[in-house]
Amino acid sequence: MGVSLGMSLSEDKAADLRVKHLEMLQAIITRMAGYGSSFKGYCITVVTAVCGFALTMHRPAVIMLAFLPLIAFAIADTQYLRTERRFRLLYDEIRTDDWKTMPTFAVSLKNAPKSSFWSAAFSWSILSFYTPLGIGVVIAIIGARWGNV
């Protein structure tokens, strides 16, 4: 991962640069985690709005449309979680690399370790949010049909 240290750069300077490289990656990881939180906030807002609109208009079948944004946000959130995990793996590779070598400052996922989409999709952060929300939509559909709204 690193570039061989020349005569002009001390080991201490190379270590300082490596810390800067890790800080760059940590900032990306933090930003990716923030996106996941934003997706969840937007998803609950849109799904609730669709359900509320359908109930207000006395159209229980329209509640089923709430599954479209729910699925779209779940897929996008899963992809961002997968990308975050890849950056975490890249961070670990760089962290364990030889600290005497000059860092490359690469932040591309081109050479980052792979992470499965399905592994991210079945993670607790995805399932524990989108599954109960989906169950809530099903309950709203059943309640609207049973209550003859």
pLDDT at 64 over 50: yes
Q: Is 84 exposed, middle or buried (0-12, 13-18, 19+ CB in 10 A)?
A: buried
pLDDT at 146: 80
Question: Helix, strand or coil for residue 102?
Answer: strand
pLDDT at 145: 80
What number of CA atoms fall less than 13 Å from residue 60's CA on the CB side?
12
Q: Which of 5-19, 76-90, 100-114, 126-140 has the lowest average pLDDT?
A: 5-19
pLDDT at 98 over 60: yes
Q: pLDDT (tens digit, 9 = 90+) per residue, 18-49?
A: 889 899 999 999 999 899 899 999 999 999 99
The domain locations on the chain are 11-146
Kindly state the percentage of the chain with pLDDT values over 70: 92
Q: pLDDT (tens digit, 9 = 90+) per residue, 72-86?
A: 999 999 999 999 999
The predicted model gives 55-66 an average pLDDT of 90
pLDDT at 8: 56
Closest of 134, 124, 137, 94 to residue 112, by C-alpha: 94
Q: How far is CA 10 from the centre of its chain?
A: 38
Query: pTM higher than 0.85 for the full model?
Result: no
Number of other CB atoms surrounding residue 130 within 10 Å: 23
Q: pLDDT (tens digit, 9 = 90+) per residue, 102-118?
A: 788 878 888 889 999 99
